[in-house]
Amino acid sequence: MAELRTIKVFDTTLRDGEQSPGNSMNIDEKLRVAKQLQKLNVDVIEAGFPIASEGDFEAVKRVAQSIKGPEIAGLCRANDKDIDRAWEALKYAGEKGRIHTFIATSDIHMKHKLKMSPAKVLEAAVKAVRRASSYTPNVEFSCEDAVRTNLKFLAEVVEAVIDAGATTVNIPDTVGYTIPFEYFNIISHLKQNVPNIEKAVISVHCHNDLGLSVANSIAAIQAGAGQVECTINGIGERAGNCSLEEFVMAIRTRHDILPFRTNVATEQIVPASRLLSTITGISVQPNKAIVGANAFAHESGIHQHGVLMEKSTYEIMTPESIGLKTNILVLGKHSGRHAFKKRLTELGYEFSDDDLNKAFERFKALADLKKEVYDEDLDAIVADEVMRSAEKFKLSHITVTCGSFAVATATVQMEIDGTSVRTAELGDGPVDATLKAIKKLSKSKARLMQYNVGSITGGTDAQGEVTVRVSEGDQTVVGRGSSTDIIEASAKAYINALNRLHFKSERLHESL
C-alpha cells in the first residue's frame, strides 16, 4: 500500500455551520462544541467571524483562550478593521491563532457585489494578507467563489497572496456549483501554473447545493489539496457544507484507492453529531450517512442473515469506529451520580456542579418513569435542563383538560425574566391550547411554521421529542423539547424556539 498523505481537517461548524437558519449558538454552546471538536482532534477550528458582533468576538476569544491542540481560526474580510478585530480575539491562541481573510474573485461577484476591477481585488487581497502577516505567520486566504473565477486570474491571485505571506490558500466552491472532475482540474491547474504553490497548503471548502460537496473534496485532495474545510452533520449555508464524518470515513474506509489519512479521532464522531443536534435542535435524517439512525440498521431478511453470519457482508465500517456503542443502554433508576457524570463525560458533556445537579435530578425523575435510559435520553436531558439556565422564558408547569366531548383547556405557568406569570386558553386540542397560552404570556408575534413529533427511543414509555420551526420577521429558528408527556414536550419546544428568537434578536441588536 502506498504511504498515506495526511489531510488537515478544518472544521467550520462554529462559523459557516452556525450561519444557517436555526443553528445560532450562544457563547457557552460554542465553547461546548469547540471542546468536543478538540476531542475529535480536528486540525483547525474556525470559531467565528469576530467583526460580525460582540457575541461572535467573545465566542472566538473564549475558544482561543480555552482550547488546546487545534489551531483556532477567525474569518475576516480583506480590510484592516476586520483583520485587526480578528487578531484581537485570536491572539490568545498564540502561534495556534490563524487569521482567515477573503475576497471574492469571480467576475460575477467582482462586478455585482464588490463593484471592483480585478486589479483592485488583487491589490486588496495582497494588502489584507500583508496586514494579517504582521500579526501572525499563520494566515489563510480564500478566493471567494473560486470555481467560477477565470483560471488565469485565480492563479495570479494565489501566487500574489503566497508571496505576501499566506501559508494556506483556500479555493472554495462557495455556491456548490462544481462537479468532481472540474474541481480536480482547477486544483491541478493551480499546482501546475502557480510557481510558488509549494510554499502554501491548498485548502478546499465545498458547499452541497448539488449534493457533491464530499465527492468534490475527495477529487481536490486527489489533485493535491492538503486541507479540507467541513462541518459536523454537514450543516451550513443553504444545503450545507462538506460533511466531516462522511469525508473522514470515506478516506478511512477506502485506503485501497485513496492514499490519505486524517488525524481525526473517529470514535468521537457520534458524540460530536449528537452534541450538535442537541444544541441546535436540528436532528439528522434517519438515512444520513455515517451518523443517521439507520446507518447501521438492517431490516431486510437477506441483509440480517448476512450480518449475523459476517458483519462485513453489509457493513463497510464498524459502529464502534465512529463511537457508536453496540449496547447503548447505560443507566437506570439505581444508578448513582458518579456513574451518571461519567457517562455524560463520555458523551462529550462538561458541567458545573449546579448544572450537573439539575441534570441528575431530571435523570432520576425520568428513570422512575422509564425502565431503560438510553444515551439519546441523556442528550435530551441536557437539552431541556442544563441549557435553560440563562433563558428569558422558562416553563414552570402545565395543566391540560381534554376529551372527546370536551373543549381542550390549558393552564400554563411560566417565568419571564424571573417573574412568574400564568394564564389559561382554549384550543382545538391540548397542544393548540398550550401553545396559545404560551404565546399569550410571552406576547410573541412569532408564527409556528412547522411542528413534528417523534420518539427518542422505542417503547410506550419512550420520551417524545417535538421539533418546531418558528418565524418572526426575517428570523427563523428551530426549537426542540422532550418529555414522556408529549404536551410538555411541545411546550418546551415552543419555548425553546422563543428563546432562540430572543437570542437572535439580541445578537442582531449587538451588531448594529
Cβ-proximal residues to 216 (8 Å cutoff; 6+ apart), any chain: 173, 178, 179, 180, 183, 204, 206, 242
Total number of residues shown for the chain: 512
397 is in an annotated binding site: no
What three-state secondary structure class fits 151? Answer: helix
Q: Which residue in the block uniquely carries the three cell numbers 464524518?
A: 245
Query: How close are the terminal C-alpha atoms of the chain, in Å?
Result: 56
CA distance 421 to 425: 14
State the burial class of residue 181 (Cβ atoms within 10 Å of its Cβ: 0-12, 13-18, 19+): exposed
Q: Which residues pair with 203 in a beta bridge?
A: 170, 227
* Structural contact between residues 53 and 511, judged by C-beta atoms closer than 8 angstroms: yes
Q: How far is CA 200 from CA 90, 100, 227, 261, 423, in A?
A: 21, 14, 11, 19, 63
DSSP-derived pairing of the beta strands 447-455 and 393-403: unpaired
Is 207 one of the annotated binding-site residues?
Answer: yes
241 is known to lie in a ligand binding site: yes
Strand partners, 470: 448, 477
C-alpha torsion sign, points 282, 286, 290, 296: positive
Residue 466 CB partners (closer than 8 Å, separation 6+): 451, 452, 453, 454, 480, 481, 482, 486, 489, 490, 492, 493
Asked if residues 498 and 281 have their Cβ atoms less than 8 Å apart, the reply is no
Residue 112 labeled ligand binder: no
Instruction: Collapse the DSSP code of 259 into the 3-class scheme (helix H, G, I; strand E, B; otherwise coil) and give the result.
Output: coil
Residue numbering of the annotated binding site: 16, 205, 207, 241
Residue numbering of the annotated binding site for Mn(2+): 16, 205, 207, 241
